């Protein structure tokens, strides 16, 4: 079995915008020796090979800062009349399923992905969607990961395309660019040009009335076939959160 890691490394990167920058404090081994000494064990009674233990503290990291999965709570406080689910509510049985990669690398910057785009790609590869499939949208924009351009580059899922996937029984889906929708500046530009109040964050907003779980900042989708593999998504169980960092892997027989 081949395991393909679809997750972004969690590390400090000065090129990230301030709102998604991760900071980690790495503590050296020797500090633990002093902790043990303060607990009462003299240095002379410490094992000769006890150099201490390493420890690390994440001092800054938003739940959307790295590869993560969004909960319906992220899209709005309610789904109809019900309180929207936060990330710890994700059914784990939906986090493991057959994977389908939909190739959207041909889409231009600022050009939204439509339902017809998805259908054409599926027809071309012979991939079939079924309830429980985990759909991965391959844009190729993970090539900008770690650069200042990452959050500004990309196509994006339209409301129509997002809703079409949900209507096929897909509840977990993801993309290999900064966000699910078009980058913000394209959304704002198009809303102004078309004088429309329904374009901003249109893909996300579908989740207000049709709840779904959405991964962003995936990587290595180019290493996968169009279908015939399994996806496993393991988000941190952060109570009440709108999202959680996730380790996402693909399993190829």
* Number of independent structural domains in the chain: 2
Contact yes or no for 28/54 (Cβ under 8 A): yes
Question: What pLDDT score was predicted for residue 154?
Answer: 97
Residues 74 and 112 placed together within one structural domain of the fold: yes
Whether residue 12 is contained in a domain is answered as: no
**What would the mean pLDDT of 29-37 be, rounded to a whole number?**
98
Residues 138 and 154 placed together within one structural domain of the fold: yes
* Dihedral of the alpha carbons of 231, 121, 179, 225, in degrees to the nearest 10: 30
Question: What pLDDT score was predicted for residue 81?
Answer: 85
Q: How far is CA 227 from CA 17, 162, 195, in A?
A: 34, 19, 40
**What would the mean pLDDT of 170-184 be, rounded to a whole number?**
98
Residues 81 and 51 placed together within one structural domain of the fold: no
Residues 228 and 140 placed together within one structural domain of the fold: yes
Question: What pLDDT score was predicted for residue 3?
Answer: 98
Local confidence band at 147 (pLDDT 50, 70, 90 cut-offs): very high
Q: By residue range, what is the domain housing residue 183? A: 68-252
pLDDT tops 90 at residue 213: yes
pTM reported for the whole predicted model: 0.96
């Amino acid at each position: 079995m081949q395991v393909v890691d679809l997750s972004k490394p969690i590390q400090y990167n000065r090129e990230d915008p301030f709102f998604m920058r991760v900071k980690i404090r790495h503590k050296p081994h020797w500090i633990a020796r002093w902790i043990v000494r303060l607990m009462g064990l003299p240095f002379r009674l410490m094992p000769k090979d006890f150099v201490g233990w390493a420890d690390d503290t994440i001092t800054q990291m938003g739940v959307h800062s790295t590869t993560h999965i969004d909960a319906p709570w992220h899209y709005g406080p309610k789904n109809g009349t019900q309180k929207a689910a936060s990330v710890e509510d994700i059914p784990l049985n939906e986090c493991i399923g057959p994977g389908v990669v939909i190739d959207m690398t041909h889409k231009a910057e600022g050009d939204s992905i439509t339902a017809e785009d998805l259908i054409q790609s599926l027809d071309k590869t012979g991939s079939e969607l079924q309830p429980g499939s985990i759909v991965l949208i391959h844009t190729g924009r993970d090539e900008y990961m770690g650069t200042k351009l990452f959050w500004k580059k990309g196509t994006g899922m339209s409301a129509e395309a997002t809703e079409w996937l949900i209507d096929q029984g897909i509840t977990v889906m993801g993309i290999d660019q900064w966000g699910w929708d078009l980058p913000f500046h394209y959304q704002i530009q198009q809303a102004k040009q078309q004088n429309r109040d329904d374009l901003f964050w249109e893909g996300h907003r579908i989740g207000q009335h049709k709840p779904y779980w959405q991964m962003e900042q995936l990587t290595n989708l180019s290493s996968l076939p169009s279908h015939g593999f399994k996806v496993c998504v393991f988000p941190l169980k952060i109570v009440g959160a709108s999202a959680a960092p996730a380790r996402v892997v693909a399993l190829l027989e």
